[in-house]
Chain A
Amino acid sequence: MEGSIISSGVAIGWPSNSDYLVPWDTETKFGSTYDFFDAGTSTTRLVIPTGVTNVEIFQCAAADGFGATGVDSRWVLMKNGADYMVEQVDNQQWAPHSLRTGVITVTPGDYFQFEYRTYGGTGDCQETATRMVVVVNPMSHLLGALHAVATTDISITGDTSPVWGTPDIDNLSTQYSTTEFEAPTDALFAVVSSNGSIITPSSGWTNIKSYKNGTVVGAALRDNQSTPSAGILTPIPVTAGDLLKVTYFRSGATLDGSETHINIEWYG
């Protein structure tokens, strides 16, 4: 398993009504000797090194502090200076954002950047959620996968873990409890995704968090609409025995168990 996480160690202040290439300062490698980031060359570029031909790229961020009215924004993954994947989020106070490219072919020297374009107020980025992740040859390193559905509807009180039933996919037997899942031997990296639906939608915000060993490693915030469904996507390095879980928070709401899922891909 080979790859890197490119992140920023400082909070990022989003500008107003402008395009902003996100600068990075840290590369964290997992099982890899490849260098994807060189701050001496460019602080905004993830560059494909020699020997790498297939990757999957994740881009994750969440913004905070846009004020009561919300803003419209675009979150753009750029390849070699041109738009490659685009997500647009409208009228959000907090703009959750995460995308994955799927497996793509690349050539050495290709570079990827994360550009934020806003059409309204300014805000700050959540440090824990903002990063680019590159996984090398992901099609060759999947150890196993998990999928489970919540067993019952759950009234949400604070950050609440769904109670998961017996998985219909779990070839590595990673279910640790009804709320947590344990990284298996050899696992170096996990992709956690979860989505849930609210039974009676109403205006308000939904916050989904992902955790490793009790510490928040990802967040997805969606606000200023009656959205009954929201999802989180978190790529995260792991070691054997790490415990992963997700929680949901929406004031006074009840999760529809039959429409609340968790998926984990284990790579090693």
Chain B
Amino acid sequence: MSLLLFQVGMGAAGSGASGSLTPLAWESWSRAAALNASSSGTSVLWDTAGATSGGGMRDGTNTDRFNVPTGASFAVVSFKAQCSAGSTGDVTANIKVNGTTVRTFKHWGQYWGPFRAEGVIPVSSGDYITFEVVPTATYALYVGQNITSCSVRVF
């Protein structure tokens, strides 16, 4: 087995390109405690913080919400969740802003998933972001091991 090593690009370690954007905040969260997702739609409640900088976005009362800070114009978000094995069913994963779906990923005819949703979404100060799972029947979400997790970066 050979080792090939070469370099692409002009930057040097420790350097950053001019004009790079500084995030207002970024947070990663996962779900550790048991949680059922119902057919009426369940907004995932986040209980375990990962890496965080300039935090405070996740709402302390409504723990499914990420509150967008002042000055933001867009967010880079990713979300993944899975249901425990059961009968074959359909699941939709949604990214929502202020309760309105802005991205939807429909997964039909699977036991588990994964159910991913991600994207670059426009936001503004005062908005809140949530992540929803909508199965055809009530399923338990897999939790732990970052199986149900999200990342929110706001610029």
Residue contact B8 to A29, C-beta cutoff 8 Å: yes
The contact of A188 among B11, B112, B113, B150, by CB within 8 Å, is B11
Q: Is B33 in the interface zone, CB < 8 Å from A? A: no
Q: Is A65 in the interface zone, CB < 8 Å from B? A: no
Q: Is A21 in the interface zone, CB < 8 Å from B? A: no
Residue contact A145 to B155, C-beta cutoff 8 Å: yes
The contact of A147 among B51, B105, B119, B145, by CB within 8 Å, is B119
Stretch of A123-131, A173-181, A208-216, A223-231 that contacts chain B? A223-231
Q: How far is the CA of A259 from the CA of B34 in the complex (A)?
A: 31
Contact with A along B71-114 (1 / 0, CB 8 A): 00110101010100100000010000000000111111111111
Residue contact A195 to B120, C-beta cutoff 8 Å: no
Which chain A residues lie closer than 8 Å to B104 at the CB level? 197, 229, 259
Q: How far is the CA of A83 from the CA of B144 in the complex (A)?
A: 10
Which residues of B from 20 to 54 have beta carbons under 8 Å from A?
20-23, 26, 28, 50-51, 53
Residue contact A2 to B82, C-beta cutoff 8 Å: no
Most interface-central of B22, B108, B149 (chain A CB within 10 A): B108
Q: How far is the CA of A252 from the CA of B41 in the complex (A)?
A: 31
Residue contact A227 to B106, C-beta cutoff 8 Å: yes
Q: How far is the CA of A34 from the CA of B92 in the complex (A)?
A: 40
Q: Is B7 in the interface zone, CB < 8 Å from A? A: yes
Q: Is A154 in the interface zone, CB < 8 Å from B? A: no
Q: Is A217 in the interface zone, CB < 8 Å from B? A: no
Q: Is A69 in the interface zone, CB < 8 Å from B? A: no
Is the interface on chain B under 10, 10 to 19, 20 to 34, or 35 or more residues? 35 or more
A positions within 8 Å CB-CB of B: 1-2, 9, 23, 25-34, 39-40, 43, 51, 54, 83-91, 99-105, 139-147, 168-169, 186-188, 193, 195, 197, 201, 203, 225-229, 231, 233, 237, 239, 259, 261, 263-265, 268
CB distance from A36 to the nearest CB of B (A): 11
Q: How far is the CA of A2 from the CA of B16 in the complex (A)?
A: 8
**Contact A201/B108 with A142-B20, A169-B120 known, Cβ cut-off 8 Å:** yes
Which chain A residues lie closer than 8 Å to B116 at the CB level? 99, 231
How many cross-chain pairs have Cβ atoms below 8 Å apart between A and B?
A: 206
Residue contact A31 to B1, C-beta cutoff 8 Å: no
Residue contact B20 to A102, C-beta cutoff 8 Å: no
Which chain B residues lie closer than 8 Å to A25 at the CB level? 1-4
Show 21 residue pairs from A and B whose CB-CB distance is below 8 angstroms, ordered by the A residue. Answer: A1-B11, A25-B2, A26-B4, A30-B11, A39-B3, A91-B111, A101-B28, A102-B150, A105-B51, A139-B23, A169-B122, A186-B17, A188-B8, A195-B103, A227-B110, A229-B105, A231-B116, A233-B118, A263-B118, A264-B120, A268-B11
Residue contact B119 to A226, C-beta cutoff 8 Å: no
Which chain B residues lie closer than 8 Å to A146 at the CB level? 120
Given A32-B7, A86-B146, 13 new contacts (CB under 8 A): A27-B5, A28-B6, A84-B146, A85-B149, A89-B112, A101-B151, A141-B20, A169-B74, A169-B120, A186-B17, A195-B103, A263-B120, A268-B16
Residue contact B17 to A1, C-beta cutoff 8 Å: yes
Going nearest first, the 9 A-B pairs with the smallest beta carbon separation are A102-B151, A31-B11, A268-B17, A225-B109, A229-B106, A31-B9, A102-B28, A186-B17, A263-B120
Q: Is B60 in the interface zone, CB < 8 Å from A? A: no
CB distance from A232 to the nearest CB of B (A): 10
Residue contact B8 to A102, C-beta cutoff 8 Å: no
Residue contact B4 to A261, C-beta cutoff 8 Å: no
